[in-house]
Structure 1
Amino acid sequence: MRKMNGEEFDELVSFFDSMARTSWLKQIHDTLKEMTGLWNGKDVLDVGCGTGRLLLRGAEEANRLVGVDLSSEMVKASIQQFFYHELSGKSEFLVADAEKLPFKDDSFDLALSTCVMFLLPDPVQGIKEMCRVLKTGGQIAMLNPSEKMSQETAVQYAKEKGISGFERIALLKWSNVSTKRHRYTTEEMTELLENLQFTEISHSEVLGGLAIITIAKKKETTLK
């Protein structure tokens, strides 16, 4: 599968920031934050951070917030966002590849990734990297489209929920990209994470089952 480059996303900053503020994605971000619990004193990494809106949800609690994105313009937007909220002192954003994170082993307590892993040419390598930079007992939290996601099912969901305008456009664009990339069943994701020595794996369906939030914990012994 073709590898993406940051420039493809540079012109989409406004679109992705608006998408992060749609009612459906805001609700998913709220659910993910709730599932990861309090971030008190934690060092938190967001892989594919976009404009930083997910990290903002626990910014007051966390010890340190780090976001990486392939797009330099997304990174700039995140830096501006956190400067505006007077959180520059505890945050750092940098351009980086999810399949080759520029951090030492065992650096973070929590690693997040929403709407990203399924886009990678090799999602397993991306998840391996998140595992590598997590401390023992650290938590991984991801949002990925499920095998049920398609243009047809997204249209039906939008109709049932009365989602219209930009919110509908954003959902359909996400579904369209999903069908061209990677989709996982909960069983497939569980097996993948177990093979990477994760434990306490749980899944929560969102968007009527079109997407899945996955939470897991890094075991004592992990694959490198």
Structure 2
Amino acid sequence: MDAPTKKLPQPLLPRGLVGRFVGWVMPLGHSAIYKRVAPVLNLQPEDDVLDVGCGAGYFLKRYASHVNSIAALDYSEVMVEMATNKHRDRIAAGTAAIVHGEASQLPWEDNRFSAVTSMGSFIVFPKPLESLKEMCRVLRPGGRAVVSIEYNAEDGKDHSKEVKNYGMSALTEGEVRQMMEDAGFSEVSIKYDKGLGMPKMMLACGIKK
């Protein structure tokens, strides 16, 4: 993710000892998201996968053995450290890379990955369209993207406080679809599912043209 325009609270930007605790308990809240995203992403043994806003690296830890290689990025230094510790063997073997950085400036070359995902982070990206464009850039033609949007304007909740105080987004389905298309994705589809405390989680899916 990018440097936030406003100071985000824990656990939106994990840091310090509290951030480590957030990373440790992250699977409790995110495992339901992982289970919903993985089938939609349709991971294959030959895939090179990127997770943008990877947190402590649990999603890739769960599915790393199913694919060819993995890479991940997060703006939280604590999360990058925890994710790196989980994937030390794969990093040493050259089949994993975990980096600190911004979603709108991904440090990989064009057409590097066959699948990209972002879970639990998109709502706090200060530059959501630029981040989607970067995800599309690093995908190969025909590559798949799945972005989970846990809080959105379609879920029936009032997010005005979070939008005002923390700069979080609460996008409509139409806005998300348009951003995906503007970023360069085709065959864009919006799916809905439920997660812990998320009555109408949005999954934005697309293919690189």
Distance change >3 Å, CA 131–CA 3, structure 1 → 2: farther
Q: What's the TM-score, normalizing by structure 1?
A: 0.76
Q: Which runs of 4+ in 1 moved over 6 A?
A: 150-153
1:188 aligns with 2:175: yes
Work out the CA distance in 2 between the residues paired with 1:15 and 1:150.
Answer: 27
Deviations, residues 113-153 of structure 1 (Å, cap 9, x unaligned): 11212212111111111111111111111111221457669
- In the TM superposition, 1:23-172 aligns within 5 A as 25-83=30-88, 86-88=89-91, 89=93, 90-144=95-149, 145-149=151-155
Equivalent pairs, count:
193
Contact 1:117 / 1:127 at 8 angstroms: preserved in 2?
Answer: no
Q: What's the TM-score, normalizing by structure 2?
A: 0.81
1:212 aligns with 2:202: yes
Unaligned runs of at least 5 residues, structure 2: none
Contact 1:3 / 1:120 at 8 angstroms: preserved in 2?
Answer: no
Unaligned runs of at least 5 residues, structure 1: 154-174, 220-224
Give 1 or 2 for the bigger CA radius of gyration: 1
Q: 1:21 aligns with which of 28, 31, 34?
A: 28
Greater share of residues in helix = 1
Post-superposition offset of 1:195: 2.1
CA RMSD of aligned residues (A): 2.6
Query: Percent of aligned positions with the same letter in both sequences?
Result: 24
Post-superposition offset of 1:39: 2.8
Letter in 1 for 2:120: C
Post-superposition offset of 1:82: 2.2
Distance change >3 Å, CA 13–CA 39, structure 1 → 2: farther
Post-superposition offset of 1:4: 6.2
Contact 2:55 / 2:79 at 8 angstroms: preserved in 1?
Answer: yes
